[in-house]
Each structure stands twice: as structure tokens, then as C-alpha cells.
Amino acid sequence: MRITGEPFGSVDGTDVTRWTLQRGAVRVRVLTYGGIVQSVETPDRDGVPDGVALGFPDLEGYLKRPEPYFGALVGRYANRIADGTFALDGTEYRLALNGGPHSLHGGERGFDKRVWDAEEVEGGVRLSRVSPDGEEGFPGRLEVSATYTLDDDGALRIGYRAETDAPTVVALTNHTYWNLGGGGHELRIAAERYTPTDATGVPTGELAEVAGTELDFRTGRPLTIPLDHNFVLDHGGPAAELYAPETGRTVTVETTEPGLQVYASGDLGGIALETQHFPDSPNRPEFPSTVLRPGDVYASATVFRFGTR
């Protein structure tokens, strides 16, 4: 296992570091800017390594084009909060409307646009920062960390942790876009249901069956349609698997999260598998709660396992 850090430019006078984690044939690069997974390299079925995650070669690329959230650590709240408002303990909070009529991925300057502190840990690197009370409209001083490690088998594990001094809402994710090479991908998702949305992308509150719809990926099939949907995970096994028949590469996703947002856009050429709580949960008491209170700990983990077949 090799862990190294190197300068990678600066943002507003704050230095950015690129961390490289390498175990065997798997190499992952993580930036302290935005907690971004800049690159992932894994071998194909013939043992030839290549990049499988979309990203820019330099910091300037991320600064000039932040909107795809390539590889980013997203927070305080991943996905959408309807109308940029939510109520908590009788107080209404207003957030930036940066996703059409809604708040998206933490607001105008979310966690993906901050420079994080970093420390080397066993098997990887831990990024941390303090999000002050009122940042992007969210209540509470939030102490948050994201730890990126490579397991003995080369799997990328991301562990999130947060504590607050006042009631707030928290939902974090990683926004890496995967492209495993070749002419197309097959996708399997362990989900019998999904959360339908209105025309603006926020859930209606229904948990609909995927059976008989184009969103039924339970047995795995070619991904031929654009996607931007949250799936309600069954759990009891891997959440999803992405497979590229031409190269043989696979990415298998395991998570403690209740949902998986799949975003597949032909324009970008990659597929984001965002483990998460459901969109607009602060306004949907019937959804799994995203409320974090003083004395409690937000803890979440997602593993990306790389293989071939």
C-alpha cells in the first residue's frame, strides 16, 4: 500500500493537495478541494490498467466547470430540497435555489467547493472540515469528515461522519461518474421500488414498483436510457453492479444508505451511482430521516469493489 500527497494548486490562497492511494493494480487519487475523487485506475480482464472515473487533469478544470460534480463530496445535503425550504422543530430554513426552483447538492457553495483539511490514516486519507452554523442556510455547526481508504482487495471505501451542536439535516454522497471502457454498460440494481418525481425532479412521496417499467434493473440489463432516479434499496447484499462487457470490468456498490441515485447522461459519458438518503427527505416525514441532533453521530459508509469477468 502506497499513500502519497503532492501540491495541486490553490483556491483563494489555500493550497490544495492531491492524495494518491495505491494498492496492487488499483490507484485512486483524491483532492482536498471538494473531496473530489479525481481518478480511479483498475485493470481490465486482460490485466491492462486504465482510468474508470471521469475527471479533469488539473484544478482549473474543476473550478471552471463545477456543475457536473465530477467525483465530488456532496453536502450538506445531497440531491434536492424542494423550493429550497424545510422546517425543523418549528423553524423554517431557506436555502439557495441553485437547482432550478430547488436547492441542489448543498447550495451554491456546498462541500464540493471547499478545501478540506487532510491527514493520512491507515490505508488512506481522512478529510475534515467544520461547516459553520448558517453555511448555505443550514443550521448548526457541523464537524464532518470523509475517510477514503483502499481495502486489502483494492476496494475503495468512503466513510462519512458528522456531529452537530444544533438540530440540522445531513445527507452526504460521492458523485463519481464511472466509465468502465468499451461501447456500453450493463447495470444491476437491488431495488424493487423507486421514488417517482414531478417535472422538477422532487419526489411525489410515492414508493413505486419498478416491475413492468424501464427502471427494472433487478436482474441486470444494458443501460440504454438516460437516468436521473432514486432507487429504494432492498439491502441484504450489494446495492448495484456496473459491468462493461467489452473490457470485463465491474464496479460493485455496497452501502449503508437507503437509496441510490443513478444519473446517466449521454452528454457526459459516465454513470454516477450516488448512495444517499432520499431527495427532499426534510419535507417528507414518511422517508428515512436525515435529521441530526446534538449528541448523535451521522455515520455512513459506501464501498466500491472493482473486479472483472
Q: What 8-state DSSP symbol labels residue 171?
A: B
3-state helix, strand, coil in the chain (%, to 5): 5, 50, 45
Q: Which of 163, 241, 257, 274 is catalytic?
A: 274
- Please give the C-alpha separations between residue 178 and each of 23, 39, 255, 268, in angstroms, as whole numbers: 20, 10, 17, 10
Q: What is the 3-state secondary structure (H, E, C) of 21-49?
A: EEECCEEEEEECECCCEEEEEEECCCCCE
Q: What 8-state DSSP symbol labels residue 9?
A: E
Alpha carbon distance 53, 75 (integer Å): 20
Q: Which of 105, 175, 229, 277 is catalytic?
A: 175
Alpha carbon distance 306, 152 (integer Å): 12
Q: How far apart are the first and last CA of the chain?
A: 25
Alpha carbon distance 160, 162 (integer Å): 7
Cell of 217: 434493473
Q: What is the 3-state secondary structure (H, E, C) of 112-140?
A: HHCECEEEEECCEEEEEEEECCCHHHCCC
Alpha carbon distance 149, 4 (integer Å): 13
Cell of 204: 411525489
Question: Is 175 a known active-site residue?
Answer: yes
Cell of 150: 483502499
Most distant CA pair in the chain, distance: 59
> Which among 265, 281, 279, 286 is positioned nearest to 67, based on CA atoms?
265
Active site residues: 175, 274
